[in-house]
Amino acid sequence: MTKSIQNWAGNVQFKPENYLLPEHPDEIATYIRRAAETGKKIRTVGSAHSFSPLIETQDWLLSLDRYQGLSAVSKASRTATAKAGTKLYTLGELLFREGLAMENLGDIDRQSLAGALTTGTHGSGTGFGILATQVEELSLIDGLGNPHTCSRTQAPELFRAALVSMGLLGVITELKLRLEPAYRLHYVHRKGSLDETLGNLEDYKHNNRNFEFYWFPHTKSVQLKLVNRTDDSPRHNGTLRWINDVLIENAAFGALSCYARRFPSQAMGISRLCGNLISDGERVDWSHRVFATTRLVPFVEMEYNIPTENFVGAFRDMETAINKHQFAVHFPVECRWAKADDLLLSPANGRDSAYIAVHMYKGMPWKPYFETLEAIFKAHGGRPHWGKMNTCTTENFQKMYPDWPQFLAIREKMDPNRIFMNSYFGQLIG
Ligand SMILES: Cc1cc2nc3c(=O)[nH]c(=O)nc-3n(C[C@H](O)[C@H](O)[C@H](O)COP(=O)(O)OP(=O)(O)OC[C@H]3O[C@@H](n4cnc5c(N)ncnc54)[C@H](O)[C@@H]3O)c2cc1C
């Protein structure tokens, strides 16, 4: 079967020669061996939500959409093993039925589990690493069709490499997750001022379980998101919330975005209007339902991880540049935090981190905006999110990641025939 593929944002489009939907790891191994015999390449796709061309291939695209669900659960040890293709929205509900939950999540749940983890996807909270740090054990099939299982104690070097590996070391089949008993969160969002937020950042970061904020360019307004554990019962009006948060917010912002695209000179005014209209609200719900938001307005995105101590400097430089260049942008800038880890290619490797994500409405010119800010983020020690737009070269990555050579050495063993290569990675790592 072959079909045209495009990613969520529509900026990556291609037609693979073959679209493979295995239902079992043995089938995956067979496809890999067949690709090796016939000189074909294989890329694996999750939910195609990455903005960078990670999944692009003219050869074979392999999806684990038919390999979803839980294969084992241990309430006693608070772990569960999930099939790698499981969508996060399915996983959240399956775990919930078992009385379990992931400790942290990003702000949508449309991704596949492996796709999210292996690009270094993260949520926010100084007490939590990127999502991949919740994995206890990982199984994958290498470029020769051989299975491997690794953990902190079994093949630990492979484990530290494979968790953030963008499909370069093999096809991940199973992930054993460290979990928490299901818990509820109190989510508060409110309007704040940029200067007050930056001035009291340490308090916000450390006095909330999960803290992040959105800044509207060309304004001094931010939306604060403060999330904390609670024993209260779920408190929200589901239908009303859907109408407010999903329908009205997305529809109104979508309409304003269409207007900004048609009349780019109005984008700054629209950002100011949105900054003025930030509303206050709160609700209580089970954790996986609180983390996930609905994103219906299409955009492209660049996100950089910055050492946490450089955050305010990077932010202020970004604000100055946006004001100086008067970029036509109305999408808010999202700021989040994560704890340091030791995964070879994790953007948070070796440092407590802040993340700054910039967005541009689909169809509006993003290049000058992203390129100007990218130079600032790099100057502050930034590393790009693997799943988001960036212009980094091999030389950049070599400097950013002390463990780059180690990752390449592991790749050599796991994929000696370069089965998992595409043109994007061909340019980066050959
Ligand atoms: C609207 C939106 C919101 C987002 N929110 C966040 C956020 O809050 N935080 C954040 O950090 N990121 C966020 N992202 C980015 C997103 O989480 C990542 O790009 C993620 O990788 C997408 O998951 P996916 O399942 O779509 O993977 P894909 O984009 O399909 O693939 C990503 C990578 O994973 C590899 N892969 C997929 N499955 C496997 C497998 N089984 N074995 C080996 N490799 C595999 C692919 O080959 C590819 O290299 C967001 C993206 C969008 C579009």
Q: From first to last of the 430 residues of the chain, give the pLDDT tens digit.
A: 578 999 999 999 999 999 999 999 999 999 999 999 999 999 999 999 999 999 999 999 999 999 999 999 999 999 999 999 999 999 999 999 999 999 999 999 999 999 999 999 999 999 999 999 999 999 999 999 999 999 999 999 999 999 999 999 999 999 999 999 999 999 999 999 999 999 999 999 999 999 999 999 999 999 999 999 999 999 876 666 666 666 667 888 999 999 999 999 999 999 999 999 998 999 999 999 999 998 889 999 999 999 999 999 999 999 999 999 999 999 999 999 999 999 999 999 999 999 999 999 999 999 999 999 999 999 999 999 999 999 999 999 999 999 999 999 999 999 999 999 999 999 999 8
Q: Is the CB of 163 under 6 A from ligand 1?
A: no
254 and 296 Cβ atoms separated by less than 8 Å = yes
69: in domain: no
Beta carbon of 168 within 6 Å of any ligand 1 atom: no
Cβ of 346 closer than 6 Å to ligand 1, yes or no, is no
| Domain interval for residue 345 | 184-384
Q: State in Å: Cα 309 to ligand 1 middle.
A: 27
Note the pTM of the prediction, 2 decimals: 0.97
Residue 54 Cβ inside 6 Å of ligand 1? The answer reads yes
Choosing from 89, 91, 111, 212 the residue with most ligand 1 atoms within 8 A of its CB, the one to mutate for a pocket test is: 111
Gap from CA of 8 to ligand 1 centroid (Å): 10
> 131 in ligand 1 pocket by Cβ < 6 Å?
no
Q: How far is CA 115 from the centre of its chain?
A: 9
Cβ neighbours, 10 Å, residue 203: 10
347 lines ligand 1 (CB under 6 A): no
Nearest C-alpha to atom 12 of ligand 1 is from which residue? Answer: 121
- How many angstroms separate the alpha carbon of residue 295 from the centre of ligand 1? 15
Whether residue 132 lies inside any domain: the answer is no
pLDDT value of residue 2: 74
Residue ID of nearest Cα to ligand 1 atom 7: 106
CATH of the domain at 319: 3.40.462.10
292 ligand 1 Cβ < 6 A? no
Task: Identify the residue whose C-alpha is closest to ligand 1 atom 11.
Answer: 121
Q: Determine, yes or no, domain membership for 25.
A: no
Report whether residue 105 contacts ligand 1, using a CB cutoff of 6 Å.
no
3-state secondary structure string, the chain? CCCCEECCCCCCEECCCEEECCCCHHHHHHHHHHHHHHCCCEEEECCCCCCCCCCCCCCEEEECCCCCCEEEEECCCCEEEEECCCEHHHHHHHHHHCCEECCCCCCCCCCEHHHHHHCCCCCCCCCCCCHHHHEEEEEEECCCCCEEEEECCCCHHHHHHHCCCCCCCCEEEEEEEECEECCEEEEEEEEEEHHHHHHCHHHHHHCCCEEEEEECCCCCEEEEEEEEEECCCCECCHHHHHHHHHHHHHHHHHHHHHHHHHCHHHHHHHHHHHHHHCCCEEEEEEHHHHHCCCCCCCEEEEEEEEEHHHHHHHHHHHHHHHHHHCCCCCCCEEEEEECCECCCCCCCECCCEEEEEEEEECCCCCHHHHHHHHHHHHHCCCEECCCCCCCCCHHHHHHHCCCHHHHHHHHHHHCCCCCCCCHHHHHHHC
Please give the number of the atom of ligand 1 that sits closest to the Cα of 107: 8
Mutate-to-test residue for ligand 1 from 6, 45, 57, 174, highest number of ligand atoms within 8 A of CB: 45
Q: Is residue 368 part of a domain?
A: yes
Cα 91 versus chain centre, distance:
16
Does residue 98 lie in a domain region? no
Residue with tokens 């996930």: 292
What would the two tokens of residue 191 be? 């309007």
- Position 103 in a domain: no
133 lies in a domain?
Answer: no
Q: Ligand 1 centroid vs 230 CA: distance in angstroms?
A: 30
117 Cβ closer than 6 Å to some ligand 1 atom:
no
On whether residue 209 sits in a domain, the answer given is yes
Residue 172 Cβ < 6 Å to ligand 1: yes
Task: Report how many domains make up the chain.
Answer: 1
**CA–CA separation, 170 and 77 (whole Å):** 28
